Amino acid sequence: MDRIWFGLGALAGLGGVAMAAVAAHLKMDPAAALAVRDAALAQGTHAIVLLVCGVRGGRWCNFAGTFFVLGLLGFCGGIYGKHLGGWPVGSVAPFGGVMLMIGWLMLLLAAFKKRGR
């Protein structure tokens, strides 16, 4: 699993940089550009955290990584879908935000657990 989190972290980082470029260069409403830029920043931040999950490893980091990936798909994907695709995403982004918070809680638990347990 460690390689998976590391790989997904690298992919999320790549996507975050790409989406920041979209926000900076695509002609769109300024509020939409700001929302996309903020989502790209959140994606880049959580990309680093996925790398940490890959380096640290263990069951609790696996839980955290799962919630981080779900959160990135929901939160960032929801914002991108709404502002770039015009999709009616409803409460996908808030749900993704909750998943990100749960990921951070799992990472906190991982800090107090032995590796692999």
Q: What is the pLDDT of residue 89?
A: 85
Look-up of token digits 């550009």: 33
Percent of the chain at pLDDT exceeding 70: 97
Q: Give CA 96 to chain center in angstroms.
A: 9
Number of C-beta neighbours around residue 4 at 10 A = 14
Q: How confident is the model at residue 115 (pLDDT cuts 50, 70, 90)?
A: low
- Measured CA to CA, the distance from residue 90 to residue 54 in angstroms comes to 32
Take residue 39 and report the two structure tokens written for it: 């989502």
- pLDDT tens for 33-84 read 999 999 999 999 999 999 999 999 899 999 999 999 999 999 999 999 999 9
Number of C-beta neighbours around residue 113 at 10 A = 12
